[in-house]
Amino acid sequence: MKRKVKNYTFSLPIETVDRMREYANEKYIPSVNAGVRKAIEEYSRKLEKEKLNKELRKASRDPLFLRDIDECTNDFDALDAETGRGRDRW
């Protein structure tokens, strides 16, 4: 399935653009556009991880969230014990 795209204009340092052109000319990347897109996608994933970690740290201090985790763990204790006993036979 083809992704929708939107053209957007950025201002980048000349050295960065020149370096990307060099990478494209040397076939390290398919094109400058592809290299910039990949860099933005990777940076976006990094920010998403940071955002998730921030939310997890926040949740780790939330008593209601921690109680919910304890309840879920307790709910599965019996099943975990039951399936854990059969592992030796594998």
Place of tokens 């599965």: 76
Place of tokens 């933005």: 40
Alpha carbon distances (Å) from 5 to 1, 8, 29, 32, 37: 13, 9, 19, 16, 11
pLDDT in tens, 33-60: 999 999 999 999 999 999 999 999 999 9
Rounded to an integer, the average pLDDT of 17-36 is 97
Q: pLDDT value at position 87?
A: 56
Q: pLDDT value at position 63?
A: 92
pLDDT in tens, 68-89: 999 998 888 888 777 765 555 5
Rounded Cα distance, 32 and 16, in Å: 10
Selected residue with higher pLDDT from 15 and 87? 15
